Amino acid sequence: RHRVKVATLSERMELSAAEFKHLAVMRLNVGDRVDVFDGSGEAGEAELIHLDTFSAALRLLSRQDSAAEYPQPVTLAIALLKGDKLSDVVRAGTELGVSTFQLLRTRYADVPDIGDSKLTRLRRVAEEAAKQSQRAVVPGVLAPLPLSALSAAGQCFYAHPGSPGKLLEQVTWTSALTLISGPEGGFAPEDLAQLSRLGATPITLGPRILRAETAPLALLGALAASGV
């Protein structure tokens, strides 16, 4: 069934210009039912009650608890990557349940920074992927921070080849979770010192070296495959 993003769930919901365009493309008619979500965790079922050439409105029929979220928010802190690799990570990471993507600047970064237009594009990718995977939460994509400015409440892990720790043996789901994944060149000694000051635990992804865009998905895939 069609999924429509609304500003807030309420009895009557007027659609934004972008959603109205989307609805027109779907060729819905008054009386049709759609799933609605607000992007921050509220979801439900609604009926199209008004549609003309310029506007549309929905009536909320019922609210749903979102079963699609992890028991605690999961932040993926990911080093900046070349080309369009971050789009792939954001798309798949959204399907795999990330609540927030925090972009990171690290010493051996593949690219020094990203522009506003690319950030906007990544946010659009997250919104589309959230709809596809029937999540009520659209993950935020936060502008890059230097690793030294990262704060991580709750449990925090970083992937680093050769580490003794294993993610699933340590995740307790009793507090928020932050997973950190490095750039193609890996973490520099200064980054590793920073991660240790942050209290992050190093973990392995096995004896093979994964590409920088594969490693975050292996971390998230482990969580997804644990069935939580």
Cβ 114 to ligand SAM, closest distance in Å?
18
Give the residue with the Cβ less far from ligand SAM, 43 or 96: 96
Give the residue with the Cβ less far from ligand SAM, 212 or 223: 212
In the complex, the residues that contact ligand SAM under the rule CB under 6 A are: 159-161, 181-182, 184, 186-187, 204-206, 208-212, 215
Cβ 188 to ligand SAM, closest distance in Å?
9
Cβ 101 to ligand SAM, closest distance in Å?
15
Give the residue with the Cβ less far from ligand SAM, 135 or 160: 160
> CB of 56 within 8 A of CB of 23?
yes
Cβ 215 to ligand SAM, closest distance in Å?
3
Give the residue with the Cβ less far from ligand SAM, 22 or 107: 107
